[in-house]
Structure 1
Amino acid sequence: MARVRRVVGAALVAMTVASAGAAMAQGGDAPGVVTETTQLSGALRVRGAALAQRITYWSRGPRGPMQSTAAIYLPPGPPPPGGWPVVAYAHGSVGIADQCAFTLRPREFYLATVYPVLLAAGFAVVISDYVGLGTPGTHPYLDGPSQARSVIDGVRAARAVTPALGARWAVFGQSQGGQTALFTAALAPTDAPELALRGAVATGAPSNLEYGLTAAGPWVPRLPLRKTTTYFGLFLAGLRATAPELDIDSYLTPIGEQVLRIVESECVDDADALVRDIAIGQMLSRQLAGPALESAVRSMLRIPTEGQSVPLFLGQGLTDLEVPAPLSVELIADLRSSGADLQVGVYPGDHLSAAAEALPDALAFLHRVLA
């Protein structure tokens, strides 16, 4: 296992994140309190949805209350006894600029494929934007605990304004959302005992990043993976805003400072077009090391593998160049050795196509745990 850890750590330098000034709640607003409700229209509607709504609610960031937004879609017809079971969809990397929020910019794969399938299966769908993404403050990218709390509080908020929703729910995430789903599975049973979390689906989930990120330094070359510089920049930009005492700027070269400015203002694909030819090593003037930084990185990235109490489904693409398949080996091994109720699906596709290939298996898993 130690050897695997070293191999994974070295590879993760390439992959690093394939992952604020918090807006403090006045009067200590509780998690899940809704402050605004609007109807979604046009391209943000989903075929077959009886309700398409966007809510703004209070959640919890790394250092206190922050706001988040979420979309709610309901299946047609009357709800079953006890209300519609909920699938909380945790989305993948879109960026950290406010205009990139998932509930503001249509993403056809999800709106035309994933969500209609979930609605047709009899599940309500709730999609959180995560704290700071389209709301005050900076989104702490790949901060697993705050992303999980955004999802949990999003379900709380959705149930507060939508009486047709039941308490049974599952979380389903892709990429950054896959990481979020695994954190949610670990945190929700004790964080939200009033809700009945029944399982978690994670596809293309970045894991074990904490082992490689703090090995990064000026020596890291440009590597043959996708969007690594963009993901690395997003992570550092979120960490810089969330934990200014770490002085992230002191690790950056002028090129690194430029990359962070780009990822703070552009969505993922646009940022990648501008920075993809920059090596991670060109961004750094020295190694990302130090006890405080390493502790912060672990708390954000270390996926809980012990004590997972709900069934898990993990999907991985064999040709994924954003979360390469070998990097999931230790996650799977650690979950199994910890006694998790784990189902694994391996698919031929890349990062997004494998998510589509996994959808039938994920749907069968959701039917089983939410029955």
Structure 2
Amino acid sequence: MTRRTVITLVSVAVLAAGPLAATAVADPPARAEAAGAVVADAALPLDLWLDGTGSARKLTYWTRDSADQPALSTGVVFTPAGAPPPGGWPVLSWEHGTVGIGDDCAPSVTGRSDRDNGFLATWLKQGYAIVATDYIGLGTPGVHAYLDGRAEAHAAIDMVRAARAVDDSLASKWVAIGQSQGGGAAVFTASLATRYAPELDYRGAVATGPASNIVDAATLVGPGTTFGSSHITAYSAYVLNGVKAARPDFDLDSYLTPQGKQLVEDAKTLCFGPLADRAEGLSLGQLLSRPLSDGDFVPVARSVMDVPLTGYDRPLFIGQGTNDTDVPAPLTAKLVADMTLAGTHPEVHVYPGKDHSGAMLASLADSVPFVARLFV
């Protein structure tokens, strides 16, 4: 049975499952797996609403993975309270940071951190509709391919398509915005948005603490590695899972110790906080039986995770804190330098003394007027 057949059968099962509370199934599209086609549309529980929400719905929709195969994703549509402006609410497609790769970690299921709730509510109160993908595999079949940038970008773009299919108060003009994992995803989104969805009016992107140069950092890691923290070890377990999920033929086990195999397996179900707790006292070197610079890891991982340096035809905002230990500033500095050498010139904002979350929140002073200009 092919992967396409399995996904199609899953979709049929969703559609045939019978009536669910407050759930409506969209009219069948011309092609069942068309990108952005909505499979299910349900009211989002009130306890998951953002402050200032007028209405909120959870969608299940079709998108494409990085191999251009059909895949299901879920996400939420938040619209502001009040009447939409002429032409409809301008749209922000939110790409979230690391929460985990298990189904129970999906923000549409568990809700969002206080940081993210406050950040998104700020945008909602500015008069933007927010569409927020969970990404492929977070609440839908398969393992979430963590940091598979093209798959994440497709899910974010198709979330705009899906939202507009069920809510005619949304405009076609939209901006991508993301933090951390989602910051890297937003940069990927910026590189392909107009080509992937030419019928939409893509205006630009905002990325803070964007995950980048992951593979370059990984080439320094091997059995003798002792640096890092429980957070870095947890991120690494998700990264290794992400490469395997995106490229199933990759021989991940050949790189892992028994401890590494166990933590990578635990990462499939544990959300970030519990996984970081599980990784306490476990160094990166204890996960690995050989250096990641050996064998196929580097070329395979680069095909999944390397952020594009060209293809940007709309403005791109990159924000970075100097005290960020989750996405260290040198990685973002290298991304910007490589982009500049390739002829891409993002608008860069550096936030002295700010850590990963602090830079995200500090960026609002600059990103709010940046986005406002994009919609003029």
Alpha-carbon distance in structure 2 between the residues aligned to 1:60 and 1:226: 33
User: Corresponding residue for 1:90?
Assistant: 95
Which runs of structure 1 show a deviation greater than 4 angstroms over 4 or more consecutive aligned residues?
Answer: 289-292
Q: Which residue of 2 aligns with 1:24?
A: 7
Q: Distance in 1 between matches of 2:340 and 2:86?
A: 35
- The residue aligned with 1:328 is 332
Distance 1:214 1:244 in 2: 21
Match of 2:190? 185
CA contact (8 A) 2:154 2:189 kept: yes
Residue deviations 1:36-64 (CA, integer Å, cap 9, x gap): 11111232012221111110001112342
Alpha-carbon distance between aligned partners in 1 of 2:247 and 2:342, rounded to the nearest angstrom: 32
Residue 106 (structure 1) shift: 1.9
For residue 244 of structure 1, give the secondary structure of its aligned residue in structure 2. Answer: coil
Residue of structure 2 in register with 1:196 after alignment: 201
Correspondent of 1:370 among 367, 370, 375: 375
User: Does residue 163 of the first structure (1) align with residue 168 of the second (2)?
Assistant: yes
Deviation of 1:363 after TM superposition, in Å, equals 1.0
Q: Contact 2:243/2:304 (CA < 8 Å) preserved in 1?
A: no
Greater RCO between the two (CA within 8 Å, min separation 6)?
A: 1
Deviates more, 1:238-247 or 1:268-277: 238-247
Aligned to 2:242: 238
Q: TM-score, normalised by structure 1?
A: 0.90
Residue aligning to 2:149: 144
Give 3-state SS (helix, strand or coil) of 1:272's partner. helix
CA distance in 2, matches of 1:66, 1:207: 24
SS in 1 for 2:143: coil
Does the 8 Å contact 1:249/1:257 carry over to 2?
yes
Q: Decide whether the 8 Å contact of 2:256 with 2:288 is kept in 1.
A: yes
Identity rate, percent: 41
* 1:299 matches 2:282: no
Q: Name stretches of at least 5 consecutive residues in structure 2 with no aligned partner.
A: 10-30
After superposition, give the CA deviation of every residue in 1:101-123 in whole Å (9 maximum; x if it has no partner): 01111224356412221111111
Paired residue for 2:58?
54
Contact 1:87 1:172 in 2 (8 A): yes
Q: Report how far residue 339 of structure 1 moved.
A: 3.4
**CA, structure 1 residues 191+291, in 2 after alignment: closer, same or farther (shift >3 Å)?**
farther
1:145 is displaced (CA, Å) by: 0.5
Code of the residue aligned with 2:50 in structure 1: it is: V
Q: Is the 8 A contact 1:307 1:338 kept in 2?
A: no
Q: Which residue of 2 aligns with 1:6?
A: none
Cα distance in structure 1, aligned partners of 2:302 and 2:295: 11
Aligned to 1:221: 226
Contiguous gaps of at least 5 residues in structure 1: 1-20
Q: What TM-score, normalized to structure 2?
A: 0.89
The answer (yes or no) to whether the contact 1:87–1:124 under 8 Å persists in 2 is yes
CA distance in 2, matches of 1:105, 1:291: 38
Q: Which amino acid aligns with 1:357?
A: A
How many angstroms apart in 1 are the aligned matches of 2:65 and 2:54? 32
Supply the distance in 2 between the matched residues of 1:337 and 1:214 (Cα, whole angstroms). Answer: 23
Number of the residue aligned with 1:123: 128
Equivalent residue number for residue 40 of structure 2: 36
- Code of the aligned partner of 2:140: T
Structure 1 distance, partners of 2:350, 2:145, is: 30
In structure 1, distance between residues paired with 2:116 and 2:350: 24
